[in-house]
Amino acid sequence: MSSAYRGRFAPSPTGPLHAGSLAAALASWLDARAQRGTWLVRIEDLDPPREVPGATEAIVRTLARFGLESDEPVVLQSRRGAPYDAAFARLRAAGLAYPCTCSRKDIEDAARAAGLKTGIYPGTCRERPAGARSRPAWRVRVPDVTVAFADRACGRYAQDLAREVGDFVVRRADGPWAYQLAVVVDDAEQGITDVVRGADLLDNTPRQIFLQRALGLATPRYLHVPVVTNERGEKLSKQTGARALTEDVRGELERAARHLGLPHIGADTRDAFLMRAIELWRERWVAGPTIAAEEASRG
């Protein structure tokens, strides 16, 4: 494949790397290496209250222990801002963003009254001037369209944005840019051609594609890999009690690779393991299902 490939791993520094985030990191690294591409690490630290001090350094250090190192300097979203401002200004200029002063309870009540699925914003502030609250959240107006894309792993995925998501927040009332806006701006700015990440983000992708189109940005290819769950079927996270990664580097890599559907590797060294894993990944995801990949790139 072309050497223009650019992939990324984009962890939020809410805790140390665990088995789930290692699998996601390994998947994106393998896909980049299998296509002789560039692999970047971007720290998504736009939510200070959820951030754990030292987590960024710990994540980068742990990734290095597993042989996964960013080909370019690690980017911190918190150090940026101007590009998010610019994207937001364009959404406003296009009449796509509006201020929302609803409380959580307002949204629940109005959604219930309108018979909407919980979590769907009922559009209360769409047509009304901003209320008394000095700092509104900002939402984007989603049209009544279905956004579809071809995921390299999951196949065609379609979402009726208005019905299944509703107008979503791009800037929070307390200030931070929302993940959806920042991820789209950064993937474009960093020239990301391929997003490989956990399947928990599959249903976020149509929102991101909608924003890419609204901002005139290219849509990357997407590959969503299965998320690692605990015995209760919950996605591993600090909240669901993910254990810390052990010192057994090859054992942890072997478990992550098995989770990603690769056969047992059993190499003598970490680097031999990674070399073999790249070959196996290439056979499975690069040499194999090119039809889905081509469909995805045609958009």
Residue 81 CB, shortest distance to ligand GLU, in Å, is: 17
Please tell me whether residue 11 binds ligand GLU under the rule CB under 6 A: yes
CA distance 84 to 181: 7
Q: How far apart are CA 94 and CA 92, in angstroms?
A: 5
10 makes contact with ligand GLU (CB under 6 A): yes
Residue among 207 and 254 whose Cβ is closer to ligand GLU: 207
Which residues in the 41-70 window bind ligand GLU by CB under 6 A?
Answer: 44
Distance CA 117, CA 85 (A): 31
Residue 12 or 35: the one with the smaller Cβ distance to ligand GLU is 12
Residue 7 interaction partner, one of ligand GLU, Zn ion, none, beta carbon < 5-8 Å per kind: none
- Kindly tell me which residue out of 23, 63, 100, 202 binds Zn ion, with binding defined by CB under 5 A: 100
Contact set for ligand GLU, span 128-167 (CB under 6 A): none
- Name which of Zn ion, ligand GLU, none residue 102 binds, using a CB cut-off of 5 to 8 Å depending on partner kind: Zn ion
From residue 165 to residue 204, what is the string marking binding to ligand GLU with x (rule CB under 6 A)? ------------------x-------------x---x---
How far apart CA 50 and CA 63 sit, in angstroms, is 21
> Nearer to Zn ion by C-beta: 73 or 129?
129
CA dist 229 → 8, 136, 205, 246, 251 (Å)? 22, 36, 21, 17, 18
Residues designated catalytic: 238
The CA–CA distances, whole Å, from 37 to 2, 30, 69, 70, 213 equal 8, 10, 13, 12, 25
Picked from ligand GLU, Zn ion, none, the partner binding residue 18 (CB below 5 to 8 A depending on kind) is none
Binding footprint of ligand GLU, residue count (CB under 6 A): 7
For 90, the token pair is 């364009």
Among 5, 7, 12, 286, binds ligand GLU (CB under 6 A): 12
Q: What is the helix (H) or strand (E) element at residue 224, kind and residue range?
A: strand 221-225
Residues 107-146 that bind Zn ion (CB under 5 A): 124-125
Q: At 242, give phi and psi (nearest 5°).
A: -65, 135
Residue 259 interacts with ligand GLU (CB under 6 A): yes or no = no
What is the rounded distance in angstroms from the CA atom of residue 32 to the CA atom of residue 248? Answer: 24
* Dist. CA 281–CA 33, nearest whole Å: 9
Where does this chain bind ligand GLU (CB under 6 A)? 10-12, 44, 183, 197, 201
